[in-house]
Amino acid sequence: MAEWTGPLYLASYFVAYAALHSLMASRRFKDLARRRLPGMQPWYRLVYSAVAVITLAPLGLMMLWLPDRLLYVVPRPWLYLLILIQAGAVLGLMLTLKQIGPWSFLGLIPSRDDDLASGSLEVKGFYCWTRNPLFLFSLVLIWSSTFMTVNQLTVYLLISIYFYLGALHEERRLSAELGAAFRDYRATVPRFVPRPGRCYQRGRYQSDQRA
């Protein structure tokens, strides 16, 4: 039973974290925050990011403190290959954040609405090859770990599932807001893994709807 204590607590906490994260990202919750705290609207993205980071921190501590068991350690020379892959994933994350604007992404630049209110779709950088580069590079980073424990495996599986469900939710929202422009983009560019010949033309594509 002790062997399952770590995964059980980690899964319970992660589900609660994911529920809070999804609630704050929902349109209904943002509309409620806009009505109750109108002065906070320009900084909602910053509050959202801060809550996400603060509530995620205990998960890392739990992974260290809860009972755990080592599953494997990658030997040389494959160890160096995985380190190289992780370095590439970190570089990809940094470049993607630079392409989308790190300060806007974190909410450090105030905005009237953190949603796409312009009714247009702008495709640039890694988004030409994959619809979710941040998720893709994050998954490559965690799954190229040079060692694996039971607690790690539990959290990594939960993160992977959450990223997939989050991508589905976000794409439904964008499809409703941007219409044919996003549907054309979705039909051309893979959700996660890039494929040859599937790079979307760079530029801005006008939607047939207005949010």
| pLDDT tens-digit readout, 129-139 | 999 999 999 99
Q: Report the predicted TM-score, pTM, of the whole model to 2 decimal places.
A: 0.86
**Residue 112 confidence (pLDDT):** 55
**Residue 117 confidence (pLDDT):** 45
Q: What whole-number percentage of the chain has pLDDT above 70?
A: 88
- Among candidates 70, 65, 68, which has minimal Cα distance to 148? 70
Give the pLDDT band (50/70/90) at residue 98: very high
Give the amino acid at 14: F
Beta-carbon-side half-sphere exposure of residue 121 (alpha carbons within 13 Å): 27
Higher pLDDT, 189 or 121: 189
Q: How far is Cα 57 from Cα 209, in angstroms, rounded to an integer? A: 39
**Residue 72 confidence (pLDDT):** 97
**Residue 195 confidence (pLDDT):** 84
